[in-house]
Every structure is written in C-alpha cells, then in structure tokens.
Amino acid sequence: MDPVLNVYTIDGYSVNFPYKAYDCQITYMEKVLYSLKHRKHALLESPTGTGKTMCLLASTLAFQRDCIVKYNLTRKLNNSCEVDRNLKTTGTSNLYEEEHTKIEIDKSYNLNEEHGDSNLKKQKSEFILPRIIYSSRTHSQLSQVMRELRSSKIVEALWKNLNDLNIENSLRQDSPTNKKQRNTMKNPGNKLFKATILGSRDQLCVHPKISKYRGSALVKNCRKTTKEGKCRYHNNLKQANMTGIAGDIEDIEDLKRIASTDSGYFCPFYATREIANICNVILLPYNYLLDSITRQNLKLDLNNTIIILDEAHNVESVAEEAYSYDLRDIDLALSQKAIQNMLEAARSGLLKERESDKKEDDISISFDIEIAIHLATSVYELSKLIRDIPCKVPNNRNERIRSKLGDVEGTIFPGSYIHTLFKSAGFTIDKFQNMDECLTSMINFGQGLSGNISDLSSLSDITPIQLNARIGALERFQRCLRLTFNTCAVSNPQWFKVYVHYEISQQNGLNSEESIDINRDIDTEYDGNYYNLCLSFWCFSPAAALTSLVSSGVRSLIVTSGTLSPLDTLAQQFSCANFSFEVFLENDHVINGNEQLWVAAIEQGAPENKTQLIGSFESRSNPAYFEALGSTVLDSVKRIPGGVLLFFASYTLMDQAINLWTIQGLMDRIKALKSVFVEPRNSYELNSILESYKGCIELKSKNNVKSNSLDKLTDFTNITKKCANFGSLLIAVCRGKISEGIDFSDDTCRGVIIAGMPFPSIADPRVCLKKQYMDEYRMDSRRWYNQQAIRAVNQAVGRVVRHRLDYGAVIFADKRFTHTNIRNQLSKWLRGYIRCLEYLNTTNLNSISTFFNRDLHNKLIGNSNNLNDNKLDLLSNKVDESIRSNINTTSDKKLCIPIVGNNLKNEVTNLLQQLPQNNVENTQCLTIIENKELNQNIHNNIRTINIPWKKSKIDSSVNCTKYDEQKVHFNFVPISSPNKNLGRTDKKGSLLFDKAKSTLTIEEYLNLKSYLFNLDNLNSTILVKIVDCFLPDHITDYKTFNERSILARNFQIFIPEHFKMVYISFINNKATSFEICKDKALLNALESQNE
C-alpha cells in the first residue's frame, strides 16, 4: 500500500512529512532547505521534542530527490546531443549547479563547440548526487535515526515515481577514491535509495570468538584472522548485497542479525564500508568526521555532500580534541624500543623470509632500513629536547592546588613552537611522508610479529605483551606526528598551544617489571610518586576540524542540537577566514509553556534555615548549604509525581550531599517518598540502574491508564493517585551519562532539579589555557566560561519534555539562576516561564500540586489536541471486569469494599461537577452529563454511600489452592550458592520458608524457590517476579495483603545487599498499587447506587 504522508511546498521543494507539521517544524525545514539551495552552512537550535530528526531527514531527502528530477530533465533535453551523462554519487568532476529550476550545462559538453567530439572522448558529463551524511554523538542515537527513517515511509513516498525516470541502473558502482575496495562487491541492486550506518568493530563484529575482545585487542585479532582467511564472515563479504544491506534501511542490530543468519554470513564492519560510497545516506558518529585521520581511513569522498552534525552541543570539545595530543616521555621511550625491535628482526633475516612467503593480497611488511634508523635517532633526540625544557615538578599538594586560582603549572609555548621542536629533532615536513609510510610498515610488521615472537632469537628477551605495548606506543607516536604536520597545524599555528608539564606516571599497559625499569630511567620521583614528563599539543579552536572537513568539497554543513545558544559566540568560535556560518535559528518549542511547564528559580532553603542556595566552591564545605538544598529537594519530590532527576554540578558535590543527607536522616525521608538511585561513575552499571529506576515507575503506574486513552470513569481514581508521592528519584551530574542521550519521556521524568552551576574546573590546565587563548584573540573568555555551565544545564533540563504532550516541572535550586544575565542564556523555550522565588513556601508547593492535578484533569476532559472526539466517552458505564470479579456484593446490591482515602468521594464529586455538557452518543453512558438534576442526585448518593469493611471473595478463576500437607511435602534444604545469603541454615531462614509454604499457593512457592536459588542472573525483572510471588494482583483483602507484605519484607535477608533497596521499593510500590485497586471499587459502588 502506498504511504500516506503530508506534502508541504517549502522554498520550492516538495517535502513529504509523516505527520501534520507544526509551525516550528516548517521554520526549521525552511532553514535547512535554504542552506542546501544556496550552499551555506547553518547553526540551528531546536528544542528536544520538536521532531528535529524527522525534519532533517524530510528536508534533505526532498532536496536530494529534487536534484535527481532536475538532472533527468536536463538529460532528456540533451539527448539529441548524444552526451553520455552518468549519475554517480561521488567524484571530482564538474559539480551540478542549480538556480531555481534552471540547470546549466557545462559548455565543454556541447557538441556544437569546436573540438567538442574530442572533448567528449576524454571526459563525460557527470552529475554528483548531493549525498547526505548524517552524524550524531553515539551509535544508539544513530540507530534511532535509522529506525525513524525506516518507519516514516518518507523514502517510499519520495522515490515512488522515480523508477519511471530510468536512472537507477546508471549509478556507477566504482568509486575513484576506493576502486580496489569497490571491485570486491557485486552489483548492490537496482534500488535507487541506499543507506548504511558505519560503526566500529566493537559495535559490528559478529564473529563468535573475536567479538568478545574490545578495543585494540579486537582490532588486532580481527586483522590477524581476516588476513589468514579464517573469518568466514569476511570471506563471504560478497554476500552482503544478497541480504539487501545496500537497498534496505537497517540499523546496527538489524545488520548483526542478518549477518549472523545461515543465509547471510557476512561481516557488517567491512560490508558497510564497501557500500558507503554508493549510498544516498550514510550514518556515522561525528567524531569519525571531525578526526582527520579516522576520516582518511574511511576513504569517504565528501565532494558535494550534505553533512549533518546532530546533537552537536559537544562538537566544540570533540573538534578540539580531534586535533590535540599528549605525547609522554614513556611513549617516546617505548617507541624507540619498538623501532629497535623491528630493526633487530629485520637484520636477523626474518623480514626477507616473510617477504618471500607473502601472498598477493598481503599488506606490505617491508620498510626502509635507513628511514627506520633515522626515526629511531629522531625519537631519541625529541625525547632529549623535551627533557631539557625547564619545567617545575609539583612536589607537594599545596602547589598543585594553586592551579585552582587559574595558575598553570608547567611551561607554555605558542603553537608554532611544536614545529621548531620537531625540526630540531630531525622531523621536517619534507621528510614527513616517508617517515609516516615507514611507521605504518613497521606497525603492520610488528603486529604480525607478536604471534611468532618465540621463534626469534633476537627478541627472546621480551614477551608478546611487552611487544604489543611497544607497538601501541609507536601507533600513538605516529598519530602525534600526523597531527603535528597536519595542514591546519602548519598553516594556523595560532589555534594551538604547546604545554610541557609533569603528570603522575601511568603504566600504559606495561607489565610491572618493564614499568619499574622505564620509570627508573625516565620518570622523576617526588613526594612518593613517579611523575612522567608530558608534551601536550592542544587545539583551542574547533574551526581547525570544521575547516578541514568543509574544505573536502562539502556542499553544506548543518550543525544542530537542542542546546546551542547563544549562537553568536558559537559561530565566532567555529568560523575562520575561509569558513563561516551564515544561517541561524533559535527555534520555538511545540509545547505550550504556560500549560505544560512549571519553572522556578529558588534563592534559599526553608524559612527556618534561610541559607542561600549557592553551590559555589566555598559553600560546599558548609553543612547548612546541603541542609537547605536537601529540604528543597524533599519538598519538591513530595509534590512531583513519577520520576524526578536531580542534577548536581559534579560528582564530588553529589557525593558530599548524599553522605550528609544520610547522616542527617534526610535521605530516609526522601526514600519514604520515592525510590532513590544514583548515577554510577562507570558505564557498565548504567543500564541496570536505569532499568531499576524506570521499573519502579512502571510498576507503580501499570494499573494506570495511558494519557491518550482515558475512556472510563474508573480511570479517574488512578489518575488522581498519580499525583500522590510515588515514583523514583535519580541523582546524577550535569555533563554525565544521564544528562545526555537518554530518553526520559512521560512519567519517567516529571521533574528536573538543578543543584548548582556546572562550571568547568578552573584547576584544569586546559580550561585555563583556553581562557588565555580567547583573551589573546579578544574573545570574551568569561562569557565562554559561563556558557559552558549554561549549556550543560540546558542539556540536563531538556530531559523533562520529550514530545508535544509531555509536561513537567523544573526547579533551579541555586540563587544565581535568579539573575537576569544567567536566565537570558537558558534555552528560549524555557526562559520566559521562570518565576523567581525566595523559597518554596506552602503557596508555591501547592502551585506545583495544582499544576499536575490541573494538567491531568485537562487530559481527562479531552483538552489535549491528541484526543479525538471519539475518545471523549469519559463516563462509560462499563466497569473493568477484573475489578468487578473481586468485589463481594450482598443481595441488596450494597458493596462491601474497604475504603482507604477519606477524600476520595469528594474527589469523585469534584470531577463530576467539572465535567462538560458533552453530547455522548453511547447509550450505555451515564446520563449525568446531559441531566444536571440527575447529576446533583448522584452527588447526593455519593455522599451517603455506606461502604463497610468486609473481606472480599477471591475470584474462582484464580488459582489459590492452599497446600495439602498430606499430598505435598516441602523441605527447605540449604544449597551451595555463589550468593552467601542463600547459604543460610539458621533457624530464621528455615522459619521464613515454612511461613511462605503455609501462606503462598503451591505455584507461588515453587516460583519463589526457583528465583531465590538462581540469583546469579538477578535483575530488576526477576525482583519484580519475586515480589509478585508474595503480592499477586488478585489479592483484594487488606488483611491478606498485609500478612504477605510483612512476609515479603522479611525475605529481604536472602536478597543481595546491592539489590535490597530496589526490592523494598518494589514492595512499597505494590502497596500503593493495592490502594489504587481498592479505590477503584468505589466507582463500582457509584454504579450500584445509580442502579
């Protein structure tokens, strides 16, 4: 079936969009298309949740399709000239220029010109399709882009009629930049649209054994296995197109799945690189593009390409890092040893032997002996020159702390000094190419040598680990040499600084013996530590990377994110004499800020504390500050439902707050309201923490209806309960893993609290030198320093609203956010709604509660634009059968239901009083909407309902068989387990299992034992299942629930310590869910009274 999309004409281009576009989306696409049409570069900011990704895809693909259509029109008009015009995706010939709808044809292809025929024989007219390279920060973000591209059907709509143009087969498969690689692929198919995603071996390797390695170990083993022809995935590379990899839109997981099937068996890593130069769209992380060395290795032809840098709020630091390096004395020492080892191996005759055994497709392992000797000498001289530079060693803690005041320990030189230094050591620009080729050959030779080191008498005194460490150091030195003689570094040394300093020695993968030997030789010992001398060549202008990228023939560079502002200073840093940004946008949000945001900046804590909330370095040693901050957090989480994210300025501040709050007992008060989780410093624990955090929220709200399916009166109780104190609190840091790239939509984040301002550390020499660099070139370093903090805050705050129907509260718990100059730098969609408060008094706290109650009520009565008229049947008389079945009714139809909330009847009454007088077609719907008099009668009935406490019957369909002690006999036999808690043989443990045996059903007890005796794979999902054994959903009797709840809490002695907090939070969430289910029964009472 043909895709049905909205079509918009924007700046003369027909844009297919999968949804009804908002004004801010149209504005965004206008800016993109203007940039592409006029070959300009753009800085575009659009808040999270505005559909930025879809706007980028829709507009750039529309432009690409328009170019194809115009090219074919031109080709048809010139058929009489018999000019062979080939459509190709890359190349270096004449570029296709357009002006509105006019297409100019190069005169060299006009047959009427003199010597036209001879020109045609030498050169063909080539149209270079503007290819789209979409880059983002992480592979997970790119996979999401690929999924959106696939699900949106934009590609199908845009290319629906292009097959009639008969251009798909004219696409040339051989690329002049990578012809050898191209020839290994079969024709990838006749599909006009092709897309691929590029990743590292870590993401794409599917080999069962090789994929278990990581980093350099994976690269080494992959190269070795493929070179020996032992990888069947690489051997079957030509099968890639047979699975549709070039013609289908697949993300990384899809590629790995297809490549691992019996019908596939190909290597996704090499296959995606094979087809890259014939694809319309390429997705890759933007550090691949900004790093000139990585970009060169990819062999991408960027001529006439459209490059998108999405989520680009980190581009400044990534671009500068791509052109910077740290060259340590220990790396120079190891590099010199590596070169000596290669020379010894060559002299022993092994090199000649290996060359004679080379296969035709082997990588060359020969290198020039004279150049290698010169390299060894130059490396030694460079190390000696660096050590001769006067540089003070930080020999005590007080001197190291002085850098907090902005001082830089070490010796600083201008960027041009690097070439003077290297030239003095024997490295010159005219010799660089030969030296680089020699280094590459030696590195390849050494990597192949490590597996046969035992056969070499000349290398018998070193181990493979030592040789690998030396080859690794030689690779790092080669990168330093390439960046030193990079075109940008040579032509624009003013963008760089040379910084010579000492740092605490790192072993860099050496074994302990070699580490000790080298440290004794080259390190300096002070204050009980070894200090290694380091030469840092740091870039302080992102223009270095961006200029190098654009100079490759890029048509338009689009830098975009939700947090780029202020754009003027960013453009100043990104631009240079040969490159600048000319298109700018600071876009609006799709939400209504007045209705969907509650934002406040707080000056101080509670009135009894009156400590100002200023998270400065001095305040961090003041316990009163943390007490004031804690009281603000406590008051906030009382009123904000669902998930709340608390962001600190640094890990140090976060740790201090948690420790003090724990000592003061404040953390226990917070935990009584929400389950508390803390962002881990390492990445491997992050997924587990997020799973548990979201699990608590989802478990709590699983009986609640979705925001856009409010069809029943029975849903009202659940909705109002969402404003109670439940959910999770996740404590994290700005610039951390939680603040970027993770989607916290809807209930997973109803509030964000910012504690402090995350300024870069003034103790960091790189920050100090960056400020010096900006001052030297008359840029406002103080403003830059403030913007680094504001940009991190904007990124963290962006977690609260993720789509058009999302809403939440933002609380800036720092007085500095009340200052006008700070507020004006916050994101545009947020800054206009900030209220400045002295503290959170009762009125303000009630305002938060009103905000969430009002918003939920607006959804209930159908004010959301997302609700269709046919979803406004709010008072359906149909009652959830799962609830009805658990209610015990007497003969006079009076319900015997336990009631918990004293105000529940008033809540129902208030709702009924505020319902609109809608015309509801459903005849089974209660007539109170249409009849005010009957409406009032029902209100009176609600006030007089008498619902006594009485044990409810359990539905007969639920398996509640108790143990028959004569038929079933269980003995608790302690078993050996890696979990020491399950090794309990004490009386308490046995009694608990006896109690569980007599309380639970047979099925529940068996499930409980299976879970507890298999805790090696324990996660939040299994914890939920354990809790479900004690507290299944079918329980409606309060006494039974209370008995089982106590038993479940006692069983925490068997739960590992680091899971106990999550386990208890799941039990607490079950308790609140139980109250919600009981409150639903009141609605049945309402129904019964109405009858």
The pLDDT value given to residue 245: 62
Instruction: Clarify whether residues 502 and 612 are in a common domain.
Output: no
Instruction: Clarify whether residues 533 and 646 are in a common domain.
Output: no
Last residue of one domain, picked from the residues 508, 540, 572: 540
User: Which CATH number goes with the domain that contains 667?
Assistant: 3.40.50.300
Q: Among 141-150, 306-315, 713-722, name the one with the lowest average pLDDT.
A: 713-722
Q: Which has the higher per-residue pLDDT, 197 or 245?
A: 197
pLDDT in tens, 785-794: 999 999 999 9
Selection from 750, 546, 560, 542 nearest residue 642 by Cα: 750
Assigned domain for 1003 exists = yes
The rounded Cα 883 to chain-centroid distance in angstroms is 41
φ, ψ (nearest 5 deg) of residue 135: -120, 150
Name residue 916's amino acid: P
Query: What would the mean pLDDT of 258-284 be, rounded to a whole number?
Result: 82
The pLDDT value given to residue 911: 43
Query: What would the mean pLDDT of 679-689 be, rounded to a whole number?
Result: 85
The pLDDT value given to residue 998: 87
Instruction: Clarify whether residues 491 and 640 are in a common domain.
Output: no
Instruction: Supply 682's token pair.
Output: 């390492």
- Is residue 526 predicted with pLDDT exceeding 60? no
- Is residue 232 predicted with pLDDT exceeding 90? no
Residue 731 bridge partners (DSSP): 646, 678
Assigned domain for 494 exists = yes
Band (pLDDT 50/70/90 cuts) for residue 49 is: confident
Name residue 413's amino acid: F
Q: Which has the higher per-residue pLDDT, 704 or 822?
A: 822
The full 3-state SS of 261-284, as one line of letters, equals CCCCCCCHHHHHHHHHHHCCEEEE
Q: How far apart are CA 371 and CA 434, in angstroms?
A: 8
Assigned domain for 451 exists = yes
The pLDDT value given to residue 1013: 80
The pLDDT value given to residue 165: 53
- Is residue 193 predicted with pLDDT exceeding 80? no
Query: What would the mean pLDDT of 272-278 be, rounded to a whole number?
Result: 83
Q: Among 176-190, 495-509, 1059-1073, name the one with the lowest average pLDDT.
A: 176-190
Instruction: Clarify whether residues 601 and 739 are in a common domain.
Output: yes
Query: What would the mean pLDDT of 811-822 be, rounded to a whole number?
Result: 94
Query: What would the mean pLDDT of 695-700 be, rounded to a whole number?
Result: 77
Alpha helices in 722-827 (DSSP H): 765-776, 781-797, 820-823
Selection from 747, 634, 737 nearest residue 688 by Cα: 737
Strands (E), 649-704: 675-678
The residues, any chain, with a CB within 8 Å of residue 930's CB and separated by 6 or more, are: 917, 919, 920
Instruction: Clarify whether residues 657 and 795 are in a common domain.
Output: yes
Assigned domain for 1073 exists = yes
Instruction: Clarify whether residues 517 and 622 are in a common domain.
Output: no
Instruction: Clarify whether residues 618 and 504 are in a common domain.
Output: no
Assigned domain for 796 exists = yes
Name residue 157's amino acid: A
Number of domains in the chain: 3
- Is residue 486 predicted with pLDDT exceeding 90? yes
- Is residue 247 predicted with pLDDT exceeding 70? no
Q: How far apart are CA 221 and CA 636, in angstroms?
A: 53
Percent of the chain with pLDDT over 70: 68
The rounded Cα 352 to chain-centroid distance in angstroms is 50
The residues, any chain, with a CB within 8 Å of residue 489's CB and separated by 6 or more, are: 323, 415, 418, 483, 495, 496, 537, 544
Bridge pairing between strands 6-10 and 13-17: antiparallel
The SS3 call for residue 754 is strand
Categorise residue 229: left if φ over 0, alpha if ψ from -120 to 50, beta otherwise: left
Query: What would the mean pLDDT of 110-127 be, rounded to a whole number?
Result: 41
Last residue of one domain, picked from the residues 834, 860, 886: 860
Query: What would the mean pLDDT of 371-376 be, rounded to a whole number?
Result: 93
Instruction: Clarify whether residues 513 and 622 are in a common domain.
Output: no
Q: For 921-977, give the DSSP string.
A: --TTS-GGGT-HHHHHHHHHHHHH------PPPPPTTS--PPP-TTT----------
Assigned domain for 233 exists = no
Last residue of one domain, picked from the residues 540, 562, 578: 540
pLDDT in tens, 755-773: 999 999 888 999 999 999 9
Instruction: Clarify whether residues 670 and 788 are in a common domain.
Output: yes
Instruction: Clarify whether residues 731 and 639 are in a common domain.
Output: yes
The maximal CA–CA distance of the chain, rounded, in angstroms, is 109
Assigned domain for 716 exists = no
Mean pLDDT of all residues in the chain?
74
The rounded Cα 401 to chain-centroid distance in angstroms is 34
Selection from 316, 288, 322, 319 nearest residue 302 by Cα: 288
Instruction: Clarify whether residues 508 and 604 are in a common domain.
Output: no
Instruction: Clarify whether residues 645 and 507 are in a common domain.
Output: no
Q: How far apart are CA 722 and CA 859, in angstroms?
A: 13
Assigned domain for 237 exists = no
For residue 530, the surrounding DSSP H or E stretch is strand 529-539
The rounded Cα 691 to chain-centroid distance in angstroms is 15
Q: Which residue has the tokens 């079945």?
A: 885
The pLDDT value given to residue 162: 64
Q: Which has the higher per-residue pLDDT, 249 or 968?
A: 249
Selection from 46, 20, 38 nearest residue 828 by Cα: 46
Selection from 280, 296, 268, 150 nearest residue 199 by Cα: 268
Band (pLDDT 50/70/90 cuts) for residue 881 is: very low
Q: How far apart are CA 895 and CA 1086, in angstroms?
A: 10
pLDDT in tens, 965-975: 333 333 333 33
The pLDDT value given to residue 403: 45
- Is residue 753 predicted with pLDDT exceeding 90? yes
Q: Among 212-216, 475-479, 713-717, name the one with the lowest average pLDDT.
A: 713-717
**361: containing domain:** 319-540
